[in-house]
Amino acid sequence: MNRGKSRKVLSTKQLFAILVVGVGGTGLIDLTRFVTEIALQDGWISTLLGGLLSFITVNIILFLMKYFPDKTFIQISELVLGKYLGKIPGLMIFFFYLAYSSIAIRTLADLGSVWFLPKTPIEIIMISTLGLLYYLTRNGIKVLGRFHQTILWIVVPVLPLFLVPFILYRDDLLLMPVGGAGLKLILKAVLPGYYAYLGFESLLFLYPYVREDTSHKEIVKISNFAVLIIVLLKTFVVFSNIAVFGHIEIGFFLYPLLQYFKMLTFPVIERVEFFLMYFLIFIIFSSIALFYYMANLSIEQILKIEGYKNTGLFLAIPIYFLTIVPQNAGEVFKYVELMGYIGNSVIWSAIAIVFGVAIIRRKVNNNENY
């Protein structure tokens, strides 16, 4: 099937970059704490299983989008459920993206305040971040794709540094016994692990923007490769953190990955973790940019004002007020955990409603009849 000619702006390389970098920053700094809290030394297994769920999620989404190749999820929803009822699933996803953007911005601001700008009010950091997000997303998805592609090329050469603390300081006994936490706890920790892969559902919006000369098979191939990269990366992050610190010590860290960075040392060079923190900030910002743009695009399509460049400016107002709700880092952590559970529930509920009704009405195989 052919996708709409007016939207053929994303190359497969840009789609790959958006998925890898955008999802790469989701839950990255606190993932280890979430899963080891439940699955102990087997948290990495739960993360891997969460990744397998992401493979299933992505392929279900791609299978469904094959039948509506020129429409985003918002447009499909209105097509299937009608002009008014069809807005409900779209609003569900919009409010999730809005809430997630706010808590992610707050997390980024906390990191920036502690590591780089201790004398700068956190409100200034958040407002500046919102300004950058607005500027980045106001010119559409093609600019977003180029941005993520640039970040990917910047970050890739630095990734080998992540291996250094693991090679130098790992204690294999901290990973033992494999499976010792028990199947029940390992499976219980899969949901927090699955949360770290939020962002792949953006294919519900990105699919119709991929260039028209790209086949469905190519999109499936590039999307699954992106999932594979992220699953391996995040599983290694958890695995290496456990191998270096152990699940008991990790329980005392708010952000285990930052403690892992501190283990990286080189002769003569001091505070190498600052160097890695810059790249981590880029990755997290890129992830926020994806969710911010999805919120932007979804509300524009719900209100039928797609292409209006100042939507992001209006969204910045409620997002800012949501960012100041948590009073400290501990509360931020609780909201992040809550957001993971809510996010998966909202996204799957919306998808189930729309495509479930479409299948029941026997029109999913021929959307031209709508």
CATH assignment of the domain containing 169: 1.20.1740.10
Q: Which domain holds residue 30?
A: 5-369
CB distance 355 to 64 below 8 Å: yes
For 93, 207, 342, the CA distances from 345, given in Å and listed in that order, are: 10, 22, 5
Q: Domain total for the chain?
A: 1
Q: Nearest 5 degrees, angle CA 126-CA 280-CA 100?
A: 50
pLDDT, one tens digit for every residue, the chain (370 residues): 444 445 678 999 999 999 999 998 888 888 999 899 999 999 999 999 999 999 999 999 999 898 888 899 999 998 888 888 889 999 999 999 998 999 899 989 988 888 788 888 999 999 999 999 999 888 889 899 999 999 999 988 888 888 888 988 999 999 999 999 999 999 999 988 888 898 899 999 999 999 888 899 999 999 999 999 999 999 999 999 999 999 999 988 888 888 888 888 766 666 777 778 888 888 999 999 999 999 999 999 999 887 777 888 899 999 999 888 887 777 777 777 777 778 778 888 888 888 888 777 765 455 554 4
Which letter, b or e, does each residue of 77-104 get, where b requires 16 or more Cβ atoms within 10 Å of its Cβ? Answer: bbbbbeeeebbebbebbbbbbbbbbbbb
pTM of the model: 0.90
DSSP, collapsed to helix, strand or coil, labels residue 234 as helix
Count of H-run helices and E-run strands, the chain? 17, 0
